[in-house]
Amino acid sequence: MKTVEVPMTEFVKIPLFPLGVVLLPGMHMPLHIFEERYKQMISECLAQERPFGIVLFDGGSIRSVGCMARITKVLKRYDDGRMDIMTRGGKRFVIREMLQDRSYMEARVFFFDDALEDAPVRELEQAVNAALKLIESSPDIDRFPSALGETVDPKSLAFAIAAMEGFTPAERQGILEMTSPLERLEKCVQALSRIVARNRLTLEIRQLISGNGHPTKSILRELEDQSKG
């Protein structure tokens, strides 16, 4: 992976929500808020109209790169204070320092964006076209955002692809941390190609089983190769 320089900004203190999922810029994510400390955090964010940070917790450690989440809608409030909310991903950040002054977690972070790189326009266009062609030729992809604007931005396209079903938290985390638009989009296209191939094989197997048939050895072998990839 090519090393790129990320311009740093000043440090900002934010509320932090460690989760077992990864939020991406522009991605919509529903959350069920039930712990007391996070009920307090979300209530304060709603009252102050401020976002909070979501960062991946893999069960052992908290990753240092996360994404800001803005609450777009309160879907449901429960009598005991629990909430169902809808959030949307915003800026990416890097944790500089963890803070434990409140009942919930906070962190001092700096925000970052893609690095300036001299990626050939032709290569970016090829990556965008490859992604769009893959999506258009795959009828099983039914959750892709239909409105990315008339001019497709490689950054928005990559994050929209990575927000689709089939990407693991680890894959999304890697994509979140990338600062090269070209490298990120190419990575998303590679991963999406594997997901599409896996979905196609799964569909073929289901059709065979529903017709009282049995998957051929070649189909099973290809499915096994896809799971390893």
pLDDT score of 16: 97
pLDDT score of 193: 86
Residue 38 lies in a domain: yes
Residue 59 lies in a domain: yes
Q: Return the residue matching tokens 């996360």.
A: 66
**Hey, what are 47's tokens?**
């009252």
Check whether residue 130 and residue 220 sit in a common domain: yes
pLDDT score of 36: 96
Check whether residue 129 and residue 102 sit in a common domain: no
Check whether residue 137 and residue 185 sit in a common domain: yes
**Cα gap 34→214, rounded to integer Å:** 45
Residue 182's nearest CA partner among 126, 103, 102 is: 126
CATH number at residue 146: 1.20.58
pLDDT score of 34: 96
CATH number at residue 24: 2.30.130.40
Residue 72 lies in a domain: yes
Residue 41's nearest CA partner among 9, 63, 18, 59 is: 18
Residue 3 lies in a domain: no
**Cβ atoms 101, 127 nearer than 8 A:** no
Domain carrying residue 43: 12-112
Check whether residue 154 and residue 188 sit in a common domain: yes
- Residue 221, classed as helix, strand or coil, is helix
pLDDT tens digits, the chain, 229 residues: what are they?
Answer: 344 444 455 799 999 999 999 999 999 999 999 999 999 999 999 999 999 999 999 888 999 999 999 999 999 999 999 999 999 999 999 999 999 889 999 999 999 999 876 667 888 888 888 888 888 877 656 555 544 555 678 899 999 999 988 899 999 999 999 999 999 999 999 998 888 777 666 665 666 665 555 555 555 555 555 555 5
pLDDT score of 1: 38
Check whether residue 100 and residue 66 sit in a common domain: yes
> What is the count of structural domains for the chain?
2
Residue 172's nearest CA partner among 72, 27, 2 is: 27
Residue 6 lies in a domain: no
Check whether residue 70 and residue 131 sit in a common domain: no
Residue 203 lies in a domain: yes
Measured between alpha carbons, how far apart are the two ends of the chain, in Å? 19
